[in-house]
């Protein structure tokens, strides 16, 4: 690989053609379908897919779409995508995959694709990783993984990259929703909302909105935890005891956090009009709003990592695998956002 397409994270390189690595995710889900579908489109990036080569060719045949593949070599200069072709970093499946049918034997393969993609970003072999959906259940069901220990890409990448904290943010054209807690049972959420966690998350969100999205001083609307943001303490004390004083302290550092606001009215046009992002306390407080607004056109972005990682806004959709009816809109968005983030990062480095 020439210096021109080496990592933006740990090497001072010039971004010419971004090299984006896609992990195809759960082999029985729609991840492989989406990779084949985006291969049919025009892109100004080099797209490489980290997966089993034969899986992609089989899925293309099943979908009736043309596809050729070549082995990706990080020592070759980057080249823009050509329609109907994919570069592949081959990782063999443990067992042949049937679209729509989960198989725990292939779970270690899914994790291996993530490890390779992440390490490749850290080593500077590609500019960003974009993840197709995986199935959290089948990974936890596999003999190689301790049950319940795999909660999602976000936490897995946090641990792989040895980060204390990362932030999940989903973004569509005019709405960004970040989360204080991610994949946590609802019963545990209230106890997890501490000044320390809110502070770590808010600082990362503020920092990365500046770094990757060129927002000078992000205005962030923060939701309360309880209905009506606690109704002055009558519907819960977390706002008064934890959230309010934490936001106040963070604002004295220069952050621009507004809240805690009642979550139901925070997500109305009047409030959102002047917001750069929103911060929800838990997964299903913020994400249903985002998905109602922009499902299929949103990207999931992990902030706070030493690499760029974006993803789709949907799951494995086992019911659609191999049928040709999966919508590739979110994967397209995730690719575009990854490329924009890579360019923004590069501009900041060189300015
Ligand atoms: N980024 C990731 O790896 C994500 C993984 N998941 C995982 O996916 C698995 C299945 O989750 P579900 O809750 O069933 O959600 P899901 O998103 O897979 O499916 C929900 C509904 O949306 C439809 N759908 C999803 N993606 C679509 C697309 N691209 N085009 C057209 N229709 C689409 C499905 O057919 C289904 O009716 C779970 O294990 C979950 O944890 C869920 C979200 C994100
Ligand atoms: N709802 C988002 C989701 O479940 C995806 O999580 P992750 O695998 O990107 O951490």
Residue 189 and residue 181 in contact, taking contact as beta carbons nearer than 8 Å? yes
Task: For residue 154, say whether it is annotated as part of any ligand binding site.
Answer: yes
Q: Classify residue 311 as exposed, middle or buried by CB count within 10 Å of its CB (0-12, 13-18, 19+).
A: buried
The pLDDT of 207-233, averaged and rounded, is 97
Q: State the closest ligand 1 atom to the C-alpha of 312, by its place in the atom list counted from 1.
A: 1
d(CA 52, CA 348): 36
Ligand at shortest distance from the CA of 133: 1
Task: For residue 291, say whether it is annotated as part of any ligand binding site.
Answer: yes
**1-164+308-351 and 174-296: identical CATH topology:** yes
Rounded to two decimals, the ipTM of the complex is 0.98
Pocket test for ligand 1, best of 33, 151, 299, 315 (most atoms within 8 A of CB): 315
Ligand at shortest distance from the CA of 280: 2
Counting residues of the chain whose pLDDT is more than 70, the rounded percentage is: 95
| pTM of the full structure | 0.94
Residue 234 alpha carbon to ligand 1 centre in Å: 37
pLDDT on residue 4: 26
- pLDDT tens digits along 79-120: 999 999 999 999 999 999 999 999 999 999 999 999 999 999
Report the mean per-residue pLDDT for the chain.
94
Q: Is the pLDDT of residue 14 over 60?
A: no
Q: State the closest ligand 1 atom to the C-alpha of 320, by its place in the atom list counted from 1.
A: 35
pLDDT on residue 87: 98
Element (H or E) spanning 325, and its range? none
Task: For residue 234, say whether it is annotated as part of any ligand binding site.
Answer: no
Pocket test for ligand 1, best of 26, 138, 284, 316 (most atoms within 8 A of CB): 316
Which pLDDT band holds residue 350 (cuts at 50, 70, 90)? low
Number of Cβ within a 10 Å radius of residue 274: 9
Number of Cβ within a 10 Å radius of residue 53: 18
Q: With left for phi above 0 and alpha for psi between -120 and 50, is residue 178 left, alpha or beta? A: beta
Counting residues of the chain whose pLDDT is more than 90, the rounded percentage is: 91
Which CATH class, in words, describes the domain spanning 1-164+308-351? alpha beta
- pLDDT tens digits along 335-348: 999 999 999 987 76
Task: For residue 85, say whether it is annotated as part of any ligand binding site.
Answer: no
Element (H or E) spanning 73, and its range? none
The string of DSSP letters for 67-128 reads -EEEE--TTSPP----TTEEEEEE---SS---TT---GGGHHHHHHHHHHHHHHHHTTSSSE
What is the CB < 6 Å shell around ligand 1? 30, 133-137, 153, 300, 311-312, 314-317, 319-320, 326-327
d(CA 190, CA 39): 44
pLDDT on residue 5: 27
Of all protein residues, whose CA lies closest to atom 32 belonging to ligand 1? 326
User: What CATH code would you report for 174-296?
Assistant: 3.40.718.10
Residue 89 and residue 131 in contact, taking contact as beta carbons nearer than 8 Å? no
pLDDT on residue 88: 98
Q: State the closest ligand 1 atom to the C-alpha of 137, by its place in the atom list counted from 1.
A: 39
- pLDDT tens digits along 252-310: 999 999 999 999 999 999 999 999 999 999 999 999 999 999 999 999 999 999 999 99
Residue 318 alpha carbon to ligand 1 centre in Å: 8
- pLDDT tens digits along 65-76: 999 999 999 999
d(CA 57, CA 63): 10
d(CA 146, CA 253): 40
Q: State the closest ligand 1 atom to the C-alpha of 25, by its place in the atom list counted from 1.
A: 3
User: What are the structural domain ranges in the chain?
Assistant: 1-164+308-351, 174-296
Which two three-digit tokens encode residue 267? 């997500």
pLDDT on residue 349: 65
d(CA 105, CA 93): 9
Q: Is the pLDDT of residue 11 over 50?
A: no
């Amino acid at each position: 690989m020439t210096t021109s397409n080496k990592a933006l994270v740990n090497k001072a390189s010039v971004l010419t053609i971004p090299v984006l690595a896609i992990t195809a995710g759960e082999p029985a889900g729609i991840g492989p379908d989406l990779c084949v579908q985006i291969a049919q489109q025009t892109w100004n990036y080099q797209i490489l897919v980290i997966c089993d080569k034969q899986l992609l060719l089989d899925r293309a045949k099943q979908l009736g779409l043309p596809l050729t593949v070549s082995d990706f070599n990080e020592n070759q200069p980057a080249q823009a995508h050509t329609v109907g072709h994919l570069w592949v970093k081959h990782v063999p499946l443990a067992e042949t995959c049937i679209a729509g049918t989960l198989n725990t034997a292939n779970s270690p393969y899914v994790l291996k694709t993530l490890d390779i993609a992440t390490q490749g970003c850290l080593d500077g072999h590609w500019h960003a990783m974009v993840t197709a959906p995986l199935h959290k259940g089948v990974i936890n069901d596999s003999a190689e993984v301790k049950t319940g220990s795999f909660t999602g890409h976000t936490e897995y990448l946090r641990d792989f990259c040895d980060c204390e904290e990362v932030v999940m943010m989903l973004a569509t054209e005019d709405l960004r929703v970040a989360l204080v807690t991610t994949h946590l049972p609802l019963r545990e959420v209230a106890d997890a909302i501490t000044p320390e966690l809110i502070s770590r998350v808010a600082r990362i969100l503020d920092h990365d909105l500046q770094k990757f999205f060129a927002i000078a001083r992000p205005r962030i609307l923060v939701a309360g935890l309880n209905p009506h943001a606690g109704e002055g303490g009558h519907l819960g004390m977390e706002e008064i005891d934890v959230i309010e004083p934490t936001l106040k302290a963070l604002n004295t550092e220069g952050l621009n956090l507004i809240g805690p606001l009642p979550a139901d009215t925070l997500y109305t046009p009047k409030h959102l009009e002047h917001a750069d992002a929103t911060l929800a306390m838990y997964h299903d407080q913020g994400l249903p709003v985002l998905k109602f607004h922009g499902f299929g056109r949103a990207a999931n972005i992990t902030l706070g990592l030493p690499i760029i990682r974006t993803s789709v806004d949907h799951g494995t959709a086992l019911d659609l695998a191999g049928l040709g009816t999966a919508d590739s809109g979110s994967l397209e968005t995730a690719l575009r956002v990854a490329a924009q983030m890579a360019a923004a990062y590069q501009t900041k480095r060189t300015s």
